[in-house]
Chain A
């Protein structure tokens, strides 16, 4: 086993996922869209997990969605994660679900179904991750 984690865990990018992370660095959320069946998918894959299509293009999405669920972690996974912090599942308007964090949100303010919007956070060592905050309306 390695030493206790002193830095946040970083996503191990792959050739297939790199456009997703490159877009995050540009402040944009992009998803793969299948050119055969038009479906969007997340996480990135070499094939469309719905129809098996192999032609997948990257498409910018709204970054808006709703909380499918959330929790507030009271004991962090390592010293690099200062508790309490949110871990959430976001359903994007375009129909895909992703895990993320909810930021700029006091404990007690989040609820299932709440509207959220994406923003981008520096995760260290040049990595930028999409996170979400509550959206007024």
Chain B
């Protein structure tokens, strides 16, 4: 699969608070914008992947999107892997192109977690996470699951709340450079650690946003991409790892299947963490970034906190992380959240990211996880098709 598939279109809708706009409307807008960005018409598209929206649950979300847009693909599927949905879908789409199931595939996702759910519905969504029989009765919230990971990392390696906060601050510094980001007010470590405690040791500002928004990309073969535009972004590596669904069944709280996913993606790409110009890491809560930095090989196990302290993650750092602002400061509309990390990576590798452009970006790693550090997918993207 290495270098055989390329991204030729990318588009986001507005993000944040978009009352009165349904996930379907946002998804359709993103899809059409991405197709236009690729210089194509919707009749050129023969594959469509999407995911279900919590604010508009549908049995067949991809088929419903095709119907809404009056598209008639020969490959059409919804993917469901929580936050990992985005890159699992990309992995599927790339495989479908390589095997000839489709030639031009749109991956489009949207949700309205901010405006489309009542407060009580949102709490119900939270309550439905976790094992129904052996976890949910104890009342864990989504932040609580990730707090268990953070607490374990702190106990094992001496990681501090300030180091976790440093991750949120780095994401905010990137967001300050991104006009599309939902949260652009400057923020300090002190702001994070003095914000309201949600689930020890996670404060409010360790938690990602709740947003409305949609995003889409267009993929095709590398040969076709070269005919269509002069700056395709190539998929050099893809890898997944799956170890559990429920956190109580995880074999380790501080090492995740991001390690296996990363190793598989790097191996396919023939590149390593040292080759990455930036990384977009799944940041629903700050401790996920900490564990992912280690598991994806950017620093040694247990040294994530010190790596954050070094300033590496910030704009101009040795490994800028979440250059659009991430789920923590750009937006988090639920399962589609990582789509924005992908479109951002495409713009970075086209050298079209404006004020936040990572100088001379060549290769980038994007990673997402779903469940509670359960399903991981890592992708290596490049300007160079190899």
Contact = CB atoms under 8 A, between A and B. Distances in A.
A78 B268 CA distance: 46
A91 B282 CA distance: 28
A73 to B, nearest CB: 5
A23 B135 CA distance: 18
B127 A78 contact: yes
Interface string A67-86: 01111111111100100010
A99 B135 contact: yes
Interface stretch (B138-146, B175-183, B288-296, B326-334): B138-146
B147 A98 contact: no
Given A12-B132, A69-B253, A77 B140 contact: yes
A70 B139 contact: no
B198 A74 contact: yes
B227 interface: no
A72 B246 CA distance: 19
Most buried by B among A3, A99, A111: A99
B151 A69 contact: yes
Interface string B58-74: 00000000000000000
A52 interface: no
A14 B133 contact: yes
Interface in B123-153: 123-124, 126-127, 130-141, 143-144, 147-149, 151-152
Given A4-B123, A70-B148, A112-B152, A87 B138 contact: yes
Interface residues of B, number: 41
A62 interface: no
Most buried by B among A42, A74, A97, A100: A74
A10 interface: yes
A73 B139 contact: yes
Contacts of B123: 4-5, 77-78
Interface in B231-256: 246-249, 253
Given A71-B199, A74-B196, A100 B138 contact: yes
B350 to A, nearest CB: 41
Interface in A1-40: 1-5, 8-14, 17
Nearest to B140: A87
Given A77-B127, A87-B144, A113-B155, A11 B134 contact: yes
Interface residues of A, number: 42
B120 A112 contact: no
Contact of A12 (B133, B147, B202): B133
Interface string B106-128: 00000000000010110110110
B141 A99 contact: no
A65 to B, nearest CB: 13
B132 A97 contact: no
B197 interface: yes
B147 A43 contact: no
A117 B246 CA distance: 23
A70 B141 contact: no
B144 A71 contact: yes
B333 to A, nearest CB: 18
Contacts of A17: 133
B137 to A, nearest CB: 5
B155 A81 contact: no
Nearest to A2: B124
Given A17-B133, A77-B140, 6 more contacts: A4-B124, A71-B147, A71-B199, A71-B201, A89-B253, A112-B154
14 contacts: A3-B120, A8-B139, A9-B139, A68-B152, A70-B151, A71-B151, A73-B140, A74-B197, A77-B126, A77-B139, A87-B148, A89-B148, A99-B134, A127-B137
Interface of A: 1-5, 8-14, 17, 42-43, 68-78, 81, 85, 87, 89, 97-101, 107, 111-113, 123, 127, 129
Q: Sorted from nearest, which 8 A-B pairs have the closest CB atoms? A: A112-B155, A71-B147, A81-B139, A69-B152, A69-B148, A99-B248, A11-B133, A72-B200
